[in-house]
């Protein structure tokens, strides 16, 4: 076991059918009477946001800000914070996917630190508590786990880089998980974001900073993904499956926020930056190859994960020596099914990634913080081998990396 570890998850979870209807009560407890409601134009258009507005009927909403783009930026955060101040808001309600939730985290940081430009807070690790800014997160995807993490990723448009802000102060006071919020997600997005959740859980369970608490969260997340991702993808209106996936996302987020991720995320972040591949798609493509790369040093962890990836019957029937390989095979099998259902890409070639850029991707991956805690040392050559393998191979064979 890790000789020393820390685990923090101060976020109150409200999960269930109709959980959003309790939002007014939660705001009352937090002392919020004039919230800034953050969301995006798509959620406004398809009516997801109106469910939240309806839940706040009879209560004052200081300002509704729906100008959050797909990849939030410093400018967006600064503008939303300016509106928070201009409209005298006293708390934040964020309704959206990772981009909206991360924007809300940025706004909270600016208001609490009485600062007008997020760039001024770049690289600050130990910020003072500052002004209290109550924050409720209502995720509308089941993937990033941002509602349970101390991390915000914000784009620096000037330098064309994604900046990571990490602080306990970024964790929401309340996360509301309601199946109605993810019901309209198309199958392809459900599958892609679900594989991001699975990847958070598997990497949190096998990275160097794993600990007993993050393990418990990660293991349960894997089990919920196994039981519900295919149902949620195939039958979008299956409330139980949607709610279970929202819980899996929260659990996996809390797990990796308190341990870390690994080589799959390091390469995935780099592929996103250099080749603009959607994060969940990259996770889906890279996961089996990343697991095979790490297998040699975390055979025991993968063997344990088989119980959650395949259930007790398969786990007990599989000889101990073969459990790690079987766990990887279960991931490969799930990917195949999702590919058949939604066309979720299995190779980098299908995404249009240019192999000529792989050296640039590998260099960026080695600069990613996640490689430091990957259980096996990651080299430039290893990343290139993984990228080349994932370019054309569909991950079915058991080749080593
Ligand atoms: Fe991720």
- Following DSSP, what letter does each residue of 64-93 receive, concatenated? EE-B--SS-BHHHHHHHHHHHHHTT---EE
Report d(CA 250, CA 65) in Å as an integer.
24
pLDDT of residue 367: 92
Tell me the CA–centroid distance for residue 248 and ligand 1, in Å.
13
Tell me the CA–centroid distance for residue 144 and ligand 1, in Å.
6
Tell me the CA–centroid distance for residue 278 and ligand 1, in Å.
10
pLDDT of residue 172: 97
Tell me the CA–centroid distance for residue 102 and ligand 1, in Å.
13
Which of 191, 24, 184, 38 lies closest to 104 in space, CA to CA? 38
Tell me the CA–centroid distance for residue 54 and ligand 1, in Å.
31
**Burial code of 374-388, b = ≥16 C-beta within 10 A, e = fewer?**
bbbebeeebbbbbbe
Q: Cα–Cα–Cα angle for 106, 110, 111, nearest 5°? A: 115
Report d(CA 363, CA 384) in Å as an integer.
10
CA dihedral 52→57→59→64, nearest 10 degrees, is: 40
pLDDT of residue 400: 45
Tell me the CA–centroid distance for residue 205 and ligand 1, in Å.
14
Report d(CA 274, CA 283) in Å as an integer.
15
Tell me the CA–centroid distance for residue 28 and ligand 1, in Å.
33
Is pTM beyond 0.85 here?
yes
What's the sign of the alpha-carbon dihedral 49, 178, 258, 169?
positive
Half-sphere exposure (Cβ direction) of 79: Cα atoms closer than 13 Å = 12
CA distances from 139 to 35, 182, 270, 353, 380 (A): 17, 8, 25, 29, 36
Tell me the CA–centroid distance for residue 96 and ligand 1, in Å.
16
Tell me the CA–centroid distance for residue 117 and ligand 1, in Å.
26
pLDDT of residue 238: 95
pLDDT of residue 93: 98
Return per-residue pLDDT of the chain as tens, 401 residues: 788 999 999 999 999 999 999 999 999 999 999 999 999 999 999 999 999 999 999 999 999 999 999 888 999 999 999 999 999 999 999 999 999 999 999 999 999 999 999 999 887 667 788 899 999 999 999 999 999 999 998 988 887 777 888 888 899 999 999 999 999 999 999 999 999 999 999 999 999 999 999 999 999 999 999 999 999 999 999 999 999 999 999 999 999 999 999 999 999 999 998 998 999 999 999 999 999 999 999 999 999 999 999 999 999 999 999 999 999 999 999 999 999 999 999 999 999 999 999 999 999 999 998 999 999 999 999 999 999 999 998 777 654 44
CA distances from 21 to 318, 355, 385 (A): 45, 49, 50
Q: Map tokens 């899996």 to a residue.
A: 248
């Amino acid at each position: 076991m890790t000789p020393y570890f820390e685990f923090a998850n101060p976020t109150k979870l409200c999960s269930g059918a109709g959980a959003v209807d309790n939002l007014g009560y939660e705001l009352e407890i937090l002392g919020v009477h004039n919230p800034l409601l953050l969301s995006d134009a798509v959620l406004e258009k398809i009516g997801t946001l109106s469910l939240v507005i309806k839940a706040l009927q009879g209560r004052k909403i200081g300002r509704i800000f729906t100008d959050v783009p797909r990849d939030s930026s410093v400018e967006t955060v600064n503008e939303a914070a300016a509106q928070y101040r201009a409209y005298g808001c006293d708390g934040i309600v964020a309704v959206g996917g990772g981009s909206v939730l991360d924007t809300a985290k940025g706004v909270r940081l600016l208001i609490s630190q009485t600062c007008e430009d997020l760039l001024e807070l770049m690289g600050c690790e130990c910020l003072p508590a500052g002004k209290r800014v109550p924050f409720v997160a209502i995720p509308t995807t089941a993937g990033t786990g941002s509602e349970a993490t101390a991390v915000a990723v914000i784009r620096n448009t000037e330098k064309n880089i994604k900046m990571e802000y990490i602080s306990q102060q970024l964790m929401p006071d309340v996360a509301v998980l309601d199946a109605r919020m993810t019901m309209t997600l198309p199958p392809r997005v459900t599958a892609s974001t679900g594989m991001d959740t699975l990847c958070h859980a598997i990497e949190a369970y096998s990275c160097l900073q794993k600990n007993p608490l993050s393990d418990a969260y990660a293991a349960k997340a894997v089990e919920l993904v196994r039981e519900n991702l295919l149902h949620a993808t195939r039958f979008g209106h299956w409330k139980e499956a949607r709610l279970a996936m929202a819980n899996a996302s929260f659990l996996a987020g809390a797990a990796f926020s308190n341990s870390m991720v690994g080589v799959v995320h390091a390469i995935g972040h780099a592929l996103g930056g250099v080749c603009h591949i959607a994060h969940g798609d990259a996770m889906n493509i890279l996961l089996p190859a990343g697991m095979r790369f790490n297998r040699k040093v975390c055979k025991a962890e993968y063997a344990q994960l088989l119980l959650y990836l395949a259930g007790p019957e398969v786990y007990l029937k599989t000889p101990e020596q073969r459990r790690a390989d079987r766990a990887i095979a279960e991931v490969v099998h799930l990917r195949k099914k999702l590919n058949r259902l939604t066309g979720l890409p299995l190779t980098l070639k299908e995404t249009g990634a240019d192999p000529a850029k792989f050296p640039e991707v590998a260099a960026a991956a080695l600069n990613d913080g996640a490689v430091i805690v990957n259980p096996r040392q990651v080299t430039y050559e290893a990343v290139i081998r993984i990228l080349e393998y994932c370019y054309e191979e569909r991950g079915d064979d058991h080749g080593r990396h």
